[in-house]
Structure 1
């Protein structure tokens, strides 16, 4: 019932009284299961993440991780536009349960970026790329939700996506690839080093190599 009310009135307008009336339960029963309104909203947000992740799980990885990256961005934005009340609650709620639910989606993104790093196509470490892409994608979706009918928003998602991906991923044979071959190789090696745990290097050797690569990349 709370999920239905969320879609109808939004998170800020939901009251415990309305939820109890719609569900045919008493307030003590609701408090017993969720603690308070915040706990209820966290549970609803977790439901939103489960719907979002269910869509991701239906699509297995393709042969090209860059294709998967584009599909992931577009499906994320599409979900937000299709479920605005859920999306705003999912990314406005910072409860423990919500953070745990969000983590699976970030792990999927990280896995795609690891594959790109292993192919030498990532300009930064997978962790840095996760934060960059996630921040840009969530920000873009929230902007689109703020005024879905604004003509200026036409094509915004794809423009931001392509700009962010150009900063994160190196396309083989691009002009920048040819002009900055050493820098590209250094960044690819840094990215690969960050995800390889079985290299025959001691902790000190790994640290030294990382420091040298950072210096070369400056």
Structure 2
């Protein structure tokens, strides 16, 4: 085995050992404990990761990258088999909640905005959520813009997980996640039957989702068209908002 491969294998072994310890909580991940589990000397950990925080960042990225890879495959399958995009989003929501509850230490580490901002896996997960919301928009089912829908889903998810983690395992209301997701759907989906305002908003969002795929236009024309549609959507939102003076 070459020196580079040996170094990579040692690094992987340390990450796997630390990930196993992290399942028991942050306090379980000590330099000595990881070194013993990975069968290396403590200085090796410092040489490869710099410090304990560097090790934790690598472990978090490893656990999340494995999870996101599965989500990417699921999205690919859902897209190719024309799975209902709302049900696909619901299944993804459920799995995300379960992952967070099963990996509370990883979840709390990723709750650090700075750590999340530099995590490739967090960014990949963000793009997957955006793609799922985009599929709903392309069906004409969104009553709000895609960015707001994504933000609502993420905010609801964070609140749900934090609430459940604050309870003892035997006191957690697992139906809370379903109730919260349904509440979000009521905010982002067109009602059935839709109101005239919802119909107009859905039409705008559908066209917004499809505009980048209009290959008969130049890239500049598509960019300008998207800008116009976004402005139209903002105008619709202001028209549908109640007048404070009324």
TM-score greater than 0.5 by the shorter chain: yes
Contact 1:110–1:126 (CA<8 Å) still a contact in 2?
yes
Unaligned runs of 5+ in 2: 1-16, 239-246
- The answer to whether the aligner puts 1:150 opposite 2:165 as a matched pair is no
TM-score, normalization by structure 2:
0.74
Aligned-residue offset at 1:25: 2.0
Runs of 4+ in 1 over 4 A off after TM superposition: 198-206
- Find the aligned partners of 1:107 and 1:165 in 2 and give their Cα distance: 19
What number of residue pairs does the alignment pair up? 211
Change (3 A) 1:214 1:12: same
Aligned-residue offset at 1:99: 2.2
Contact 1:122–1:169 (CA<8 Å) still a contact in 2?
yes
Partner of 1:28: 43
Higher radius of gyration, 1 or 2: 2
Q: 2:230 aligns with which of 204, 210, 218?
A: 210
Change (3 A) 1:56 1:205: closer
Partner of 2:104: 84
TM-score, normalization by structure 1:
0.82
- The answer to whether the aligner puts 1:141 opposite 2:161 as a matched pair is yes
Query: Relative contact order (alpha carbons < 8 A, sep ≥ 6): 1 or 2 greater?
Result: 1
Aligned-residue offset at 1:100: 1.1
Q: 2:32 aligns with which of 17, 23, 30?
A: 17
Q: For the aligned residues, what is the CA RMSD? A: 2.6
Change (3 A) 1:206 1:105: closer
Unaligned runs of 5+ in 1: none
- Find the aligned partners of 1:48 and 1:204 in 2 and give their Cα distance: 40
**Where in structure 2 are the equivalents of 1:13-162 lying within 5 Å?**
13-59=28-74, 60-61=77-78, 62-92=82-112, 94-95=114-115, 99-147=119-167, 148-150=169-171, 153-162=173-182
- The answer to whether the aligner puts 1:6 opposite 2:25 as a matched pair is no
